[in-house]
Amino acid sequence: MQARDTREASHAGDWYVADPNSLDDMLSGFLDNVRGSFTGVPGSLGDATLPIPGARIIIAPHAGYSYSGKWAAWAYKALDLSKARRVFVLGPSHTYGFRGAALSTFARYATPLGDLAVDMTTVAELRATGSFADIPRANDVREHSLEMHLPYLYKQIAATFDEPASYPTIVPILIGSNKLADEQRFGRLLAPYLAQPDSVFVISSDFCHWGDHFDYKPYTQAEDCHDIRQLGYRDKALSGPTIHESIAYIDKQAMGYIEAGDHAGFVANLAKTENTVCGRHPIGVALAALEQLSHETDTTGEGRLRFKFVCYARSKDITRVDDSSVSYASAYAIL
CATH of the domain at 199: 3.40.830.10
What letter would DSSP give residue 34? -
- Looking at residue 34, its pLDDT comes to 85
Q: For residue 127, give its domain range.
A: 3-324
pTM of the model: 0.94
CA pair distance 119, 122, nearest whole angstrom: 6
- Looking at residue 235, its pLDDT comes to 84
114: in domain: yes
CA pair distance 140, 8, nearest whole angstrom: 10
331: in domain: no
Total domain count, the chain: 1
Q: What are phi and psi of 155, to 5 degrees?
A: -60, -45
3-state secondary structure of 297: coil
- Looking at residue 108, its pLDDT comes to 97
- Looking at residue 35, its pLDDT comes to 66
Q: Mean pLDDT, 10 residues at a time, over the chain (335 residues)? A: 79 97 96 63 66 96 95 95 98 96 98 98 98 97 97 97 96 97 98 97 97 95 95 85 96 97 98 97 98 80 84 94 96 96
199: in domain: yes
209: in domain: yes
- Looking at residue 72, its pLDDT comes to 96
How far from 134 is each of 127, 176, 213, CA to CA, in Å? 8, 12, 30
- Looking at residue 56, its pLDDT comes to 98
210: in domain: yes
- Looking at residue 265, its pLDDT comes to 98
Which residue in 153, 161, 163 sits closest to 200, CA to CA?
153
CB 314 within 8 Å of CB 325? yes
96: in domain: yes
CB 188 within 8 Å of CB 263? no
329: in domain: no
25: phi > 0 → left, psi -120 to 50 → alpha, else beta; which? Answer: alpha
- Looking at residue 1, its pLDDT comes to 42
Size (the chain), residues: 335
